[in-house]
Chains A and B, each alone.
Chain A
Amino acid sequence: MKIPYYPGCTLKTTAKPFEDTTKAVSEAVGIELIEMPRWNCCGTVYSLASDDLMHQLAPIRNLIRVQDMGYDRVTTLCSMCYNTLEQANQLVKSDPEKLEKMNSFMDQEEDYTGGVTVVHYLTVLKEMGFDSLPVKNPLKGLTVVPYYGCLLLRPEEISIDNPERPTVMAELLTSLGATVVDYPYKLECCGSYHTVNHKEVVCEKTYHILSSARKRGAEAVVLSCPLCEFNLDFRQKDLEQELAPMPILYFSQLLAISLGLFDALEFDQHYVDPKPLLKEKGLLR
């Protein structure tokens, strides 16, 4: 299956391991990711004000590029990109007047026709069927929790799963052989961009989320958002409370391990090194 891929800023920088492992996994399972030859920032947060069309231009421009490529779907990895692109998409699809205004403003591009759908990579995998994944190195003995955070699930209109009771990541991880436990904080916001100038907010959230996961027996937290990853991982060094280090992993890293794609793995960009745990479980080559 061929599908255009929108990377976004962070997948090319601090979340490079997320992209690298996803590319390797895609190749192994027969998903041909076609990286968009031209893309710009999605805006990172969806503009909520009814009079603000200016900030909808960036996401819609990206969808025009997908349209130019001749495709009607585009996939992303970052939860924030997914959310911003698809919310803007749904706005213009439901409001032809706003779409017309934006199309006439963007005079160097073709008009956007509203024919593109943004699909998160987890959904692409789910459509293929998690059972069809060629697992060679099952994650036996590894107990994990999924962390969805906000933007894969809310608002409801763009949710990749049931917004209050999501199961997609648990299903994926179970099919990779991991033991998945439940805990009450899987939907809770990590504090997001407060990490820049209100670290204490993110520390409070990080502590609650991780200590709850630990109490339920989790040895690692698995997620899909580069900002959640940074917050739950790097803010562990700023915690006032005692908390044993908790490795934070992208779902694609565990996918790569379970499919035996060891060359794609790189853990240098994590604060809490996941390697000791993965080695202890005999999961690394």
Chain B
Amino acid sequence: MIPKISKETTLLEKAEELSGEKIFSCHKCGKCSAGCPVGTLMDVRPHQVIELVQANDWNVLESKTIWLCASCFQCATRCPKDVDLTRVMEALRLLVLRENVDHIRISEISKEDLKELPPVALVSNFRKYTG
């Protein structure tokens, strides 16, 4: 999905504005990908997300990666260049969510799951997956 905002600005500019991070500070050491707890499940590895944003490639918004990132802050803690990738991932999710494209259909959650899941799971999921 390429958001409407792409007509007004570049991905790099928008991602830097929303995240407050200097994305070209990254020197591609790969520590973020090495330590990511869900890195092996991702289609685009965390350090590659940075590369795609640097290259202004809006297709990064189609990746599974931006939704798999659960904001655990492991990459942010370990980055030797102080690039907080957790914030960059949030910025990329928001570029999609702010077009009113949610990443979960709440009506599809089963009654059994709704009964069993703790409130904190549901609220955090909806906060991250809906606009």
Q: Which residues of chain A are near B94, meaning CB under 8 Å?
A: 49, 52
A196, B121: Cβ atoms closer than 8 Å? yes
Q: Which residues of chain B are near A13, meaning CB under 8 Å?
A: 118-119
- In the complex, what distance in Å separates the CA atom of A191 from the CA atom of B119? 16
Q: Which residues of chain A are near B127, meaning CB under 8 Å?
A: 43-45, 55
> B10 interface residue, CB < 8 Å from A?
no
Q: A9-B123, A154-B74 in contact; A197/B18 too (CB < 8 A)?
A: no
- What secondary structure prevails in chain B residues at the interface with A? helix
Binary flags per residue of A41-63, CB closer than 8 Å to B gives 1, else 0: 10111111111100100000000
Point out residues on B near A: beta carbons under 8 Å. Answer: 17-20, 37-38, 41, 68, 70-74, 76-77, 84, 86-87, 90-91, 94, 104, 108-109, 113, 116-125, 127-129
Of B18, B68, B91, B123, chain A has the most CB atoms within 10 Å of the CB of B123
- Which of A170-178, A226-234, A273-281 has 4 or more CB atoms under 8 Å from chain B? A226-234
The interface on chain A, measured as residues whose beta carbon lies within 8 A of the other chain's beta carbons, has a size of: 45
Q: Which residue in chain A gives the minimum CB-CB distance to B94?
A: A49
Some 23 contacts from A to B, beta carbons below 8 A apart, are A41-B123, A48-B71, A48-B91, A49-B90, A49-B91, A51-B17, A51-B18, A52-B94, A80-B124, A150-B71, A156-B77, A189-B70, A189-B74, A196-B109, A196-B113, A196-B125, A197-B129, A201-B68, A204-B41, A226-B120, A227-B121, A230-B117, A230-B118
- In the complex, what distance in Å separates the CA atom of A80 from the CA atom of B16? 26
Q: Which residues of chain B are near A49, meaning CB under 8 Å?
A: 18-19, 87, 90-91, 94
